[in-house]
């Protein structure tokens, strides 16, 4: 099977670091720095409601430089994140991400709970592996 036909679950980061939508932006930044990640799925309880990226946090910081730390993540996140199932073929995920300019896709189980995260970095690693297989 070609790598592009394989499911996204093979390439995703499993059990991603998440943040609650009510958490302050300072908590999101601390989580990103501690775990060296650029995207965090945003939850309300256990349900995904958005995604927040380093870029979102930088934008919030530039708009309200004196008060950004206490703004809730919900104010800076992108709501309704691009979400796929673990079995979605990687080429479908990558095509949608490129077409819609998404930086990441949430991977959810059959109940809608987040089980993984697939980012543009993950997509580049897949592409690099395809090139290595041809050499």
Asked whether residue 1 carries a pLDDT value surpassing 70, the answer given is no
CA distance 22 to 38: 19
3 state DSSP class of 101 = coil
Q: How far is CA 48 from CA 25, 80, 95, 126, 133, in A?
A: 17, 8, 22, 25, 36
Question: What are the tens digits of pLDDT across the range 59-89?
Answer: 877 776 677 777 899 999 999 999 999 999 9
Write the pLDDT tens digit of every residue in 7-64.
Answer: 999 999 988 899 999 999 999 999 999 999 999 999 999 999 999 999 888 887 777 6
| Euclidean distance between CA atoms 72 and 76, whole angstroms | 7
Confidence at 105, pLDDT banded by 50, 70, 90 = very high
- Predicted pLDDT at 6: 87
pTM for this predicted structure: 0.86
């Amino acid at each position: 099977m070609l790598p592009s036909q394989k499911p996204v679950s093979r390439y995703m980061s499993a059990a991603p670091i998440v943040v609650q939508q009510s958490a302050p932006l300072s908590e999101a930044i601390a989580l990103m720095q501690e775990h060296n990640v650029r995207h965090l799925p945003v939850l309300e309880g256990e349900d995904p409601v958005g995604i927040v990226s380093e870029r979102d946090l930088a934008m919030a910081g530039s708009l309200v430089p004196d008060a950004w730390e206490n703004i809730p993540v919900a104010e800076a996140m992108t709501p309704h994140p691009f979400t796929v199932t673990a079995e979605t073929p990687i080429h479908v995920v990558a095509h949608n991400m490129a077409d819609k300019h998404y930086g990441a896709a949430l991977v959810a189980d059959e109940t809608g709970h987040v089980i993984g995260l697939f980012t543009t970095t993950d997509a580049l690693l897949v592409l690099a592996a395809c090139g290595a297989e041809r050499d």
